[in-house]
Chain A
Amino acid sequence: KAGVTQTPRYLIKTRGQQVTLSCSPISGHRSVSWYQQTPGQGLQFLFEYFSETQRNKGNFPGRFSGRQFSNSRSEMNVSTLELGDSALYLCASSRTGGSDTEAFFGQGTRLTVV
């Protein structure tokens, strides 16, 4: 059974640009959550999608957005990149979502903004 796949693994972008990250969940999982990890703040919740609908959202500016497709694959987009957006972005999938459901994480996309 294939795990959660995130692409690309590494990305370097310039300030002001935008970026799109992709997450393919485990087959049969309908919930995809996105997290940002930085050395200073640790892991922080960005948003969760379930059956193509954003179900929950963390405390991030509107430059961070996402979507989910009918096959449960999800993308997140960051517009007008800032240096502080440099981070490891992780997605996690689960069957139904919620904090009482086991989450399976991808390897992450390491974004560097220069």
Chain B
Amino acid sequence: KNEVEQSPQNLTAQEGEFITINCSYSVGISALHWLQQHPGGGIVSLFMLSSGKKKHGRLIATINIQEKHSSLHITASHPRDSAVYICADGGSQGNLIFGKGTKLSVKP
């Protein structure tokens, strides 16, 4: 059974801090996804990666295939980064299996 575990569940940071969210998965994957969900529900795809590292602005995602582990980093965090961050792994049916999410709150 494919399981996706995220940590921490909740994270409060001060503006400017460096943030790390972790994701572990149990089955070999074709791609791991990082998603962002703002209050109101809409989900935005941040990264899709199967190896190495990707960077977009202040966001960096890394993945270690051997350890079945991925991290999402936010540099110089800002209150507008406050959201729920969700990682998702590919299921056996080709669908996404999601972690429970990390609720991030960045205080000014």
Contacts and interface: CB of A to CB of B under 8 A. Distances in A.
Contacts of B94: 48, 55-56, 97-99
Contact of A42 (B50, B91, B98): B98
A108 B41 contact: yes
Contact of A103 (B30, B33, B50, B99): B33
B43 interface: yes
Contact of A100 (B31, B45, B98): B31
Given A99-B29, A100-B31, A100-B90, A45 B41 contact: no
A108 B90 CA distance: 21
Contacts of A58: 93, 95
Nearest to B38: A107
B90 A45 contact: no
A88 B86 CA distance: 15
B48 interface: yes
Contacts of B93: 45, 48, 56-58
> Interface majority SS on A: helix, strand, loop or mixed?
strand
B84 to A, nearest CB: 10
A50 to B, nearest CB: 10
Interface string A88-101: 10101000011111
16 contacts: A43-B86, A43-B98, A45-B91, A45-B95, A48-B93, A90-B43, A98-B30, A99-B29, A99-B31, A99-B33, A99-B95, A99-B96, A103-B45, A103-B96, A105-B44, A107-B40
A11 to B, nearest CB: 13
Contacts of A101: 48
